[in-house]
Amino acid sequence: MLLFVGLGNPGARHAGNRHNIGFMAVDAIAKRHGFAPWRRRFQGVATEGTLGGARTLLLLPGTFMNESGRAVAEAANFYKIGLPDIVVVHDEIELPPGKVRVKVGGGIAGHNGLRSISAHVGNDYKRVRIGVGHPGDKNLVHAHVLSDFAKSEKPWVEALCEVIAENAGLLARGDDASFQNKVHLAMQARGFGKDKDADREPPSA
- Strand segments, DSSP code E, in the chain are 2-6, 39-41, 44-51, 54-61, 86-92, 100-104, 126-131
Closest CA to 169 of 87, 114, 74, 95: 87
Round to whole Å and give the CA distance between 115 and 122: 10
Task: List the catalytic residue out of 19, 111, 144, 184.
Answer: 19
Q: Is 19 one of the annotated active-site residues of the chain?
A: yes
From its phi and psi, is residue 103 left (phi > 0), alpha (psi between -120 and 50) or beta? beta
Other CB atoms within a 10 A radius of the CB of residue 39 amount to 9
Active site residues: 19
